[in-house]
Amino acid sequence: MDSASIISKLVELNALSSALDIPESERTSMLQTMSYYANHFINELPYIKGYNNAQEKGLEIKSQTRSLDQLLNLYQKEVAETGINAASGKHLGYIPGGGVFTAALADFLAAVTNPYAGVYYASPGAARIENEVVNWLKSVFSFPDSAVGSLNSGGSISNLIAFTAARDKHQVKNENIRKSVVYLSEQVHHSTQKALRIIGLEDAIIRYIPIDQHHRIIADTLDNLIETDINDGLIPFLVIASAGTTDTGAIDPLDDIASITHKHNLWFHVDAAYGGFFIMTSAKSRFKGIEKADSLIVDPHKGLFLPYGVGAVLIKDSQSVLYSNYYTANYMQDGVNEEMLKSPANLSPELTKHFRGLRVWLPLQIHGIAPFIACLEEKLLLTRYFRLQLSESGFSLGPEPDLSVSYFWYPFDSDANRKNRQLMEEIHQDGSVFLSSSIIDDRFVIRIAILAFRTKKETIDEAVAMIKRCLGKVLSVNE
């Protein structure tokens, strides 16, 4: 090809390829369309159900193009109106959050400007914002300045990064895996066992620490378990506690566990994915000892009500984190002169990453922290309010929760598990608000997790009315 033919081919290609860089007039009109959609979606939230038991269709990628308008219609019907409405305050199952609007603006800004947040020299400002959010989290949990951390997709990957650091700090390698012991309770989130398996610790010994009637680890038993294992020639190295379990919202006795792990020189990890941000509320004293953890995870997409896709890990021993994650390559040589700890890529498995810091940083700056704390405080009170309402209606309740997750069941005279399962099915069928279920001490129970920032007293009243309505149905079919 000579220059002339290259140039003419380029002209031809440009006619098509420049479609990706849309002109201002179209950008403005698309932004208006999107802004109208977002406002309409949010305005309608109070009037639509929390759960829609429907399947999706028509979402395959087609060869003919479609307009933004057409696609938004499709999106509304097949995505927004199927399954759990997670933006709604009526999401009271699993662990909700909601998705504050200003975080969506931050995501938009991050996507339009697209800075490279993984490496300091590539975008000092973006890397700084990532690190600033980590620093802020360190202050929330009274971790020292020397601790490191990263913003990840969520709690699962954050757990994985922490366990990997613990593994490497304690030199758990092929030859000693089968003798290495991890301690946790049956109430840990399943991402814990999953992460241990992914990082090659499937064959390590996992000890389940007994829990009390509040579903909290019994610290004395932990101490005994560790002593026995050491005497038996095993190698205890990691204790995993929860600050807010997923099923019951329980906080383990962190301070006691910290003393035990300190005494035996074990790595102390706290999973605060759901509960962590409640440390900023009147529940603060329950978190005593969390500052003594070697690592901790917390999910801003839960307790800070941000859209899905941001969790955080904090780790005190920066060397072990670097050991697992710091690698370099020839094509990275322009980046390695910068201080290693300033580049998020050295502290997590990700290199190129979504600029997640911005969706935490921007809302915190726009709103200040006070509305977030008030929102958390409100959820604690709503949980008490809900429990009072239900117990007045003859339901049985799980123990007084530490935070905003609780469970209940109806004490049917016979066949209670089957009938409570029916009650759950009726509730899903109804869908006014969304609740989920669990099995606790062999009992089928219905959980309520109050964390969505849009959940208010009216939502709880609606939930109670729905539960009573559904109970009426179960009672009548079983007569």
- Which residue number, 302 or 419, has a Cβ lying nearer to ligand PLP? 302
Q: For ligand PLP, give the closer residue by CB, 62 or 190.
A: 190
Alpha-carbon distance 316 to 292, whole Å? 10
Helix, strand or coil, per DSSP, at residue 180: strand
User: Is position 137 an interface residue for ligand PLP (rule: CB under 6 A)?
Assistant: no
Which of 107, 168, 229, 299 touches ligand PLP by CB under 6 A? Answer: 299
Of these, 89, 97, 99, 154, which contacts ligand PLP (CB under 6 A)? 154
Q: How far is the CB of 269 from ligand PLP (least distance, A)?
A: 11
Number of residues that bind ligand PLP (CB under 6 A): 13
Question: Structure tokens of 174?
Answer: 């092929």
- Name the residue nearer to ligand PLP (CB basis): 168 or 271: 271
Name the token pair of 312: 């955080």
**167/189 with CB nearer ligand PLP:** 189
Question: Taking CB under 6 A as the rule, does residue 311 contact ligand PLP?
Answer: yes
Q: Shortest distance, CB of residue 251 to ligand PLP, whole angstroms?
A: 11
Min CB(246)–ligand PLP separation in Å: 4
Q: How far apart are the first and last CA of the chain?
A: 85
Binding residue for ligand PLP (CB under 6 A) from 185, 191, 404, 459?
Answer: 191
Min dist. Cβ of residue 35 to ligand PLP (A):
29
Give the separation between CA 214 and CA 250, rounded to whole angstroms.
7
DSSP label at residue 173: -
CB of 440 to ligand PLP, least distance (A): 15
Residue 364's H or E segment, with its range, is helix 357-367
Other beta carbons within 10 Å of 469:
13
Angstrom distance (rounded) from CA 55 to CA 234: 50
Q: How many CA atoms lie within 13 Å of 204's alpha carbon, on the beta-carbon side?
A: 30
Cα separation of 156 and 466, whole Å?
33
C-beta of 142: minimal distance to ligand PLP in Å?
20
With respect to ligand PLP, which residue has the nearer C-beta, 246 or 324? Answer: 246
Identity of the residue, 164 or 242, whose beta carbon is nearer to ligand PLP in the bound complex: 242
Residue 473 CB neighbour total at 10 angstroms: 16
CA-based torsion, 450, 456, 457, 462: positive or negative: negative
Among 156, 164, 343, 383, binds ligand PLP (CB under 6 A): 156
Place of tokens 């009390």: 212
Residue type, 479: E
Residue 248 as a binder of ligand PLP (CB under 6 A): the answer is no
**Cβ closest to ligand PLP, residue 289 vs residue 335:** 289
**274 is a contact residue toward ligand PLP (CB under 6 A):** yes
295 lies in the site for ligand PLP, by CB under 6 A: no
Minimum CB distance to ligand PLP smaller for 419 or for 447: 447
Distant-in-sequence, close-in-space partners of 400: CB < 8 Å, separation ≥ 6: 214, 387
Q: Is 95 in the site for ligand PLP (CB under 6 A)?
A: yes
Pairing, β 436-440 against β 396-397: unpaired
Per CB under 6 A, the segment of 84-92, 154-162, 194-202, 348-356 that binds ligand PLP is 154-162
Using the rule CB under 6 A, give the single segment among 270-278, 279-287, 349-357, 427-435 that binds ligand PLP. 270-278
CA 39/CA 389 separation, integer angstroms: 33
Helical H segments across 141-242, by residue range: 155-169, 191-198, 219-231
CB 451, min distance to ligand PLP, A? 10
Specify the amino acid at residue 355. Answer: F
Chain residues binding ligand PLP by CB under 6 A are 95, 154-156, 189, 191, 242, 246, 271, 273-274, 299, 311
